[in-house]
Amino acid sequence: MGVQNFIAVCEPGYKVDAVCSYWARIFLLPKGIISRVDAVCRNYLWSRTDDFHRIPAVAWDTCCLPKDRGGLGILHCHLWNLAVIGKFSWWIAQKKDNLWVKWVHHIYMKQSDWWSYHPSINSSWTWRQICKARDALCSGFSLNGWLNGDYSTHGVYIWLIREHVTVNWMSLVWNRLCLPKVNFICWLYVLNRFMTKERLVRYGVISSYLCDLCGTAQETHSHLFFNCSYSQRCFLLLKQWLAIDWNGDLTMWILSWRCRSLLRKKVTMAALATLIYNIWQNRNTARHEGLVQHLAPVLRWIKASLKGRFLQVKESTRHSSSWIDNLDLA
């Protein structure tokens, strides 16, 4: 398969993640192809087209982290390819009984120890890449005892992204009671990556900071979600509906809230995430169309969205809770 063909199947419309996962298992992918695959995936994520030339809200390396480490769980093509190539190292070190390993030992290794072997500059590109992958994975082989059992590409991939610590907000962002678009906006919220006016002014895109929802203050992340009079009225409606209250940081409060009913906590988190989504959408409508949405439809939309998700994921039938039975979802 030529480079052009590979790039052709990676164009938008194909399941690029699956394509990358499949071909990276078979071929050693050159850096140029991996960069192009990443660019196609990145452009599709932020603009649904291949034509995206702005700075993405979140770095691609962060998007490729697992969800419990703050990412979207998208496959990191380079690290996946490295993990796959590592299997060749495992075969060579194990002196696996296959023709390719015998050939490698005969042509390149010539009785050398695999872990201290250096390829000559005349060696093929593929062989040098295999040796480079060995160097990158060397500490993993010695620390994790990969030579003592079967080689797990997935296990090695997870080890390669292990240095990123787990996040405590995964349950807030990736709640099954939220629509996927709400999950995504909530993810941007906890990362503080919205393109607020404060950011746009800093990048030189616009010159006015003024919040379009209240028209009285500069639009920063903390103003939009905590100090804006419009957002505060929205949160007050939600607090009254769900009979909850908090002071200070919303994320800290909901994650540390000791609620006896797991379902109640899940519903509350979903409602808060959906409100954050609504505030951001209403901010965009106010900015681009000059219309500020009334509060009643916001609460109605949150209730309808939660009710719809309840029916879809059948959460209500798996849990019994008088609290949810009494909750006004109409």
Residues that bind Zn ion (CB under 5 A): 211, 213-214, 228
Q: Nearer Cβ to Zn ion, position 107 or 210?
A: 210
Q: Nearer Cβ to Zn ion, position 37 or 211?
A: 211
CB of 198 to Zn ion, least distance (A): 12
14: three-class secondary structure by DSSP = strand
Q: Nearer Cβ to Zn ion, position 29 or 211?
A: 211
Percent helix, percent strand, percent coil in the chain, to nearest 5: 65, 0, 35
Q: Helix crossing, 295-313 with 229-242: angle to 10°?
A: 50
CB of 35 to Zn ion, least distance (A): 40
Show the tokens assigned to 74.
């998208």
Q: Nearer Cβ to Zn ion, position 211 or 270?
A: 211
CB of 231 to Zn ion, least distance (A): 7
CB of 227 to Zn ion, least distance (A): 7
DSSP for 116-162?
Answer: G----TTS-HHHHHHHHHHHHHHHHHHHHTGGGS---HHHHHHHHTT
Q: Nearer Cβ to Zn ion, position 29 or 275?
A: 275
CB of 279 to Zn ion, least distance (A): 10
Show the tokens assigned to 216.
């009285």
Query: On the CB side of 216, how many CA atoms lie within 13 Å of its CA?
Result: 6
